């Protein structure tokens, strides 16, 4: 790395970063967040189908991610619509996509999403 790394600042945030990384340490949660980054917002039924989980299993993952501050929701009648709560998560997923899947370009983006 050519940029100076501020370890003192990072040390102050290390516990919070570790909590986020721990919450992301599950393939299903990664894919749930990936879909939310891509779509912007999704209801539980659509999200469950997209990631191959039962609604019950998905709800458990979403509850964990709500507790960690990764996702938030709005209620529309009986339907819950989930979205990314912290814009840093979208930045993190853009970085992960770039590192593991290739760079995000205008030609492979939809509305600014991965």
pLDDT per position in the chain (114 positions), as tens? 457 888 998 899 999 999 999 999 999 999 999 999 999 999 999 999 999 999 999 999 999 999 999 999 999 999 999 999 999 999 999 999 999 998 766 555 554 444
Backbone phi, psi, residue 79, to 5°? -100, 135
Position 55 scores a pLDDT of: 96
Could you state, in order of their start, the residue ranges of all structural domains in the chain?
28-108
CATH architecture of 28-108: Orthogonal Bundle (1.10)
The SS3 of residue 16 is: helix
Position 3 scores a pLDDT of: 73
Position 62 scores a pLDDT of: 98
Q: How many CB atoms lie within 10 A of CB 93?
A: 21
């Amino acid at each position: 790395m050519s940029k100076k790394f501020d370890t003192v600042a990072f040390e102050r945030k290390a516990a919070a970063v570790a909590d986020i990384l721990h919450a992301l340490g599950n393939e299903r949660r990664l894919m749930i967040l990936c879909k939310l980054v891509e779509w912007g917002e999704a209801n539980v039924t659509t999200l469950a189908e997209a990631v191959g989980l039962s609604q019950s299993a998905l709800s458990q993952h979403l509850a964990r991610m709500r507790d960690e501050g990764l996702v938030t929701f709005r209620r529309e009648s009986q339907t819950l619509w989930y979205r990314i709560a912290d814009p840093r998560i979208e930045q993190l997923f853009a970085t992960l996509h770039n590192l593991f899947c290739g760079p995000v370009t205008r030609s492979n983006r939809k509305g600014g999403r991965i």
